[in-house]
Structure 1
């Protein structure tokens, strides 16, 4: 016992230090183990999160490609219907036949009748061309609006289905039937909006071409200014953005009821109506108005360049009588209304950087109710 006490007195400092070191080591070991366990848990959580994100991206891509495929079918069909409707409603053949008949039979038409026919041909030719410019541009832009609105909704729906809805807005899933119905609404222009559109475009053409005789000299600059003036006159008629009524119905609920299935439409807003109202909001925005203006100008620039190449010297810089310009005006319409895969004007719009940026931001920031 005495030896133990002596041993304790002599070595207690060393014992305390040793115990302290061992205790600290044990504590550090436990802390390290807890830290390593925490890191492993965090790594597992991050791996699960990455897996969820990859799954979401894959599902989003699949959804969006599906929508894009529907859109790729919708636009060509809409362009075909549009071309047929414009050709039918603004047929120039009867005017040309009468003028040719009058040329072959001098007594078949009076001078006054000839002037009336040429005047009508002048108005209808420019109406048909500017109408083709406007509708081609608007159909192309509108289908992009539709795809990006649907893409945004599908992003939200996919995120919610993967259980990460904390970071996205809540909302009802857009069913495939509503998706298709929304994309099919692009036909509203050719099926419902065309009569009023033709009337208003012809009125704008009459206003701009008033006083321009068949002998009036036209060069590339004059032609460009004339086309743009007709388009600007048309776009500025009525209340701001009144042209939207040619693209989508003013009363979405009425259109939804009449164009849908036999199922009873609920009194509250349906997914289709929500999509249509979002599209209407985009088309009414100042940003979209700028994109439309930019796209129309780009199309007209190329159109005038192509028409100028038809004349001797590759341009109309010297000026030619309006009567010689009219045949070229008529020939441009089929090019403007070609199917999208061959349509150089649609490609021109697609290549405008500001247009691409607009739709990127639309997809990223589209509000969802």
Structure 2
């Protein structure tokens, strides 16, 4: 029996050898495939956890950025109101001085200038902090991944504090430029003139074009307004200088310039939407049309409309509710308002403080909110974070 088995093995030895190699190769291949599958799954799991961690860190950075913007916006708006203060002119006009025309022309420049400065400044604040916080967030994420601590608490504080320049000197320079351009444009509009909504919009378009064509245009020279020209002497850290220079490069890029210009255009649309309300109810229950003053039956709301006495209505606003009469509303394109009646409306809009609890929100609050939720601004922040966290 053993010899028969031996003969059988000898006869089929080659088959056994080949079969053994095939089985062994198959087992090795199976084990290799299993190992590679495990490595692939582990790699995908690491990528998923890293992506989730990065997403959570980015969202946290965005929330911190939004909080910083909401916290700094009131200070910026107060600085604009301080630079383009018109309260003393309003006080003089209430005393019925002899130089009424001169004072009204000054009030005209300051009121319109404040609105324009708000549109520009709010956009510049939102864009700058969005870029700044996402650059900082990218560096902090790399520190967390590498278990390093290059970005110290002191460096973070010094880097974020750079925006303080915009809240003082930068805002002053912006207001000065805006006031200069507004004066050039509105001086050609006599106080006795009546303005339609389209003519009022044209004034703001002309101001925007004048600012954009200036050598110190805030959109193309954003960095020069929001940051000091040199790195503060107290922060000589090499990493800080690198982050500072990288932020300057980002703020001076064509993408940021185009985004700020787009924001400004959208901001002026918000301004015109607010002003348009007063063209329905500009003067204490009357509508001024091209044929004169016409009775208005639009009902009052909790927000006071501009009164017949323009000075007394300087700090007041109006909103429009649905008419309770069958009489149709006038064509808004034919409604015209004398400039002395329009100036208090504009001045009242510009003086509204930043307050997120007021309903409806004031103009400055609406502008900051508009820029915060802008999809293009969000994309800028995400792209900036993605670049600097690699």
Q: Same fold (TM over 0.5)?
A: yes
Change (3 A) 1:18 1:292: same
Question: Hey, what's the Cα distance between the residues in 1 that align with 2:10 and 2:196?
Answer: 104
1:67 has 2:99 as partner: no
Task: Count matched residues.
Answer: 333
Matches within 5 A, 1:219-238: 219-238=196-215
State the 1:132 CA deviation: 0.9
2:123 is aligned to 137
Matches within 5 A, 1:76-225: 76-102=70-96, 109-110=97-98, 113-161=99-147, 173-225=150-202
2:289 is aligned to none
Moved more, 299-308 or 80-89: 80-89
Equivalent of 1:291 in 228, 240, 259: 259
2:367 is aligned to 345
Q: In structure 1, the residue corresponding to 2:241 is in which secondary structure?
A: helix
2:342 is aligned to 325
TM-score, with structure 2 as normaliser:
0.75
Question: Hey, what's the Cα distance between the residues in 1 that align with 2:93 and 2:21?
Answer: 105
The answer on whether the counterparts of 1:71 and 1:183 sit within 8 Å (CA) in structure 2 is no
The answer on whether the counterparts of 1:218 and 1:322 sit within 8 Å (CA) in structure 2 is yes
1:276 has 2:244 as partner: yes
2:42 is aligned to 48
The answer on whether the counterparts of 1:60 and 1:158 sit within 8 Å (CA) in structure 2 is no
Change (3 A) 1:218 1:21: farther
Question: Hey, what's the Cα distance between the residues in 2 that align with 1:360 and 1:231?
Answer: 29
State the 1:15 CA deviation: 5.6
State the 1:70 CA deviation: 3.1
For residues 156-206 of structure 1, give each alpha carbon's deviation from its aligned partner in whole angstroms, at most 9, with x where no partner exists.
444444xxxxxxxxx984334323432332222112212222221111111
The answer on whether the counterparts of 2:143 and 2:150 sit within 8 Å (CA) in structure 1 is yes
1:303 is aligned to 271
The answer on whether the counterparts of 1:214 and 1:322 sit within 8 Å (CA) in structure 2 is yes
Change (3 A) 1:75 1:349: closer
Larger radius of gyration, structure 1 or 2? 1
The answer on whether the counterparts of 1:125 and 1:330 sit within 8 Å (CA) in structure 2 is yes
Q: In structure 1, the residue corresponding to 2:191 is in which secondary structure?
A: coil
**RMSD of aligned C-alpha atoms?**
3.1
The answer on whether the counterparts of 1:78 and 1:187 sit within 8 Å (CA) in structure 2 is no
State the 1:87 CA deviation: 2.2
1:249 has 2:243 as partner: no
2:285 is aligned to none
Change (3 A) 1:222 1:175: farther
State the 1:17 CA deviation: 6.5
The answer on whether the counterparts of 1:133 and 1:336 sit within 8 Å (CA) in structure 2 is no
Question: Hey, what's the Cα distance between the residues in 2 that align with 1:37 and 1:127?
Answer: 75
1:18 is aligned to 12
Change (3 A) 1:239 1:320: closer
TM-score, with structure 1 as normaliser:
0.79
The answer on whether the counterparts of 2:138 and 2:386 sit within 8 Å (CA) in structure 1 is yes
Question: Hey, what's the Cα distance between the residues in 2 that align with 1:128 and 1:120?
Answer: 12
For residues 30-89 of structure 1, give each alpha carbon's deviation from its aligned partner in whole angstroms, at most 9, with x where no partner exists.
112211221232233234323433443344345334433432332122111112222223
Higher helix share: 1
Q: Could you list the runs of 5+ residues in structure 1 that have no partner in the other structure?
A: 103-108, 162-170
Q: In structure 2, the residue corresponding to 1:309 is in which secondary structure?
A: helix
The answer on whether the counterparts of 2:141 and 2:389 sit within 8 Å (CA) in structure 1 is no
The answer on whether the counterparts of 1:137 and 1:292 sit within 8 Å (CA) in structure 2 is yes
The answer on whether the counterparts of 1:215 and 1:321 sit within 8 Å (CA) in structure 2 is yes
